[in-house]
Chains A and B, each alone.
Chain A
Amino acid sequence: MKVIVVGGGLVGSTLAERIASDGHDVVLVEQSRALVSELNDRFDVQVVCGNGATVPVLEEAGIATCDMLLATTDSDEVNMVVALVGSEIFRVPKVITRLRHSGHEVGFRRIVGDNAQRVAINPEHAAVEKILSLMPVPGAVDVVPFFEGQLVIAGFLVRPKSEFNGLLLSHLRLLFPGNPVLVVAMRRDGEWRVPHGEDEIRAGDLVYFAVDPVELDNVMALLGHRHGKERRVMIAGATRIGIQLAHRLEDQKVPVTLVEPGRAEAESAAAELESTTVIHGSPTDRELLGEEGADAVDGFVACTDNHEENVVACLLARKLGAAHTFALVDNPALASLIADLGIDAVISPRLLSVGVALHFARTGNVKRVAALLDDAVEAFEAVVPGTSRLVQSPLAQLGLPRGILVAAVQRGDRIIVPGGADRIQPGERVLIVTTAAMTSRIDDILER
Chain B
Amino acid sequence: MKICDAIRPELVFLGLSAGNAHEAIEVMAGELAASSKLDAAMVESALIEREQLGSTSVGNGFAIPHCKLANLGEIVVALARFEAGVDFGDNANHEPVSFFFAVLSPPDQPAEHLQVLSQIARILKNADLRKELIEAADVPSITRAIESAAQQEGL
Binding site for B on A (CB under 8 A): 160, 163-168, 170-171, 173-175, 177-178, 200, 217-218, 221-222
Q: Which residues of B contact A178 (CB under 8 A)?
A: 53
Query: Out of B53, B111, B118, B154, which one reaches A167, CB within 8 Å?
Result: B118
A171 touches B114 (CB 8 A): no
Interface pairs (30), CB distance under 8 Å: A160-B154, A163-B114, A163-B118, A164-B118, A166-B122, A166-B125, A166-B153, A167-B118, A167-B121, A167-B122, A170-B58, A171-B121, A173-B54, A174-B54, A174-B56, A174-B58, A174-B117, A174-B121, A175-B114, A175-B118, A175-B121, A177-B50, A200-B125, A217-B111, A218-B110, A218-B111, A221-B110, A221-B111, A221-B115, A222-B114
Report how far A393 CA is from B50 CA in the complex, Å: 31
Report how far A198 CA is from B64 CA in the complex, Å: 18
Taking the closest CB of chain A, its distance from the CB of B80, in whole angstroms, is 17
Report how far A160 CA is from B53 CA in the complex, Å: 31
Q: Which residues of A contact B119 (CB under 8 A)?
A: 163
Interface of B is mostly: helix
Taking the closest CB of chain B, its distance from the CB of A168, in whole angstroms, is 7
Q: Which residues of B contact A221 (CB under 8 A)?
A: 110-111, 114-115
Taking the closest CB of chain A, its distance from the CB of B63, in whole angstroms, is 9
Which B residue's beta carbon lies closest to that of A160?
B154
The 0/1 profile, CB within 8 Å of A marked 1, for residues 87-99 of chain B is 0000000000000
Report how far A174 CA is from B64 CA in the complex, Å: 8
A222 touches B154 (CB 8 A): no
Which A residue's beta carbon lies closest to that of B122?
A166
Taking the closest CB of chain A, its distance from the CB of B30, in whole angstroms, is 24
A175 touches B110 (CB 8 A): no
Which A residue's beta carbon lies closest to that of B117?
A175
Report how far A168 CA is from B125 CA in the complex, Å: 9
Taking the closest CB of chain B, its distance from the CB of A170, in whole angstroms, is 8
The 0/1 profile, CB within 8 Å of A marked 1, for residues 58-88 of chain B is 1000001000000000000000000000000
The 0/1 profile, CB within 8 Å of A marked 1, for residues 113-144 of chain B is 01101110110010000000000000000000
Report how far A216 CA is from B50 CA in the complex, Å: 21
Report how far A165 CA is from B155 CA in the complex, Å: 10
Report how far A168 CA is from B119 CA in the complex, Å: 11
A222 touches B110 (CB 8 A): no
Given contacts A163-B119, A166-B154, A170-B58, 8 further A-B contacts (CB under 8 A): A163-B115, A166-B153, A168-B121, A171-B58, A171-B121, A174-B121, A200-B125, A222-B118
Q: Which residues of B contact A164 (CB under 8 A)?
A: 118
Q: Which residues of B contact A165 (CB under 8 A)?
A: 154
Q: Which residues of A contact B111 (CB under 8 A)?
A: 217-218, 221-222
Taking the closest CB of chain B, its distance from the CB of A33, in whole angstroms, is 56
Taking the closest CB of chain B, its distance from the CB of A29, in whole angstroms, is 53
Which A residue's beta carbon lies closest to that of B63?
A174
Report how far A173 CA is from B111 CA in the complex, Å: 16
Q: Which residues of B contact A218 (CB under 8 A)?
A: 110-111, 114
Report how far A163 CA is from B122 CA in the complex, Å: 9
Report how far A222 CA is from B113 CA in the complex, Å: 10
Report how far A70 CA is from B119 CA in the complex, Å: 51
Taking the closest CB of chain A, its distance from the CB of B110, in whole angstroms, is 6
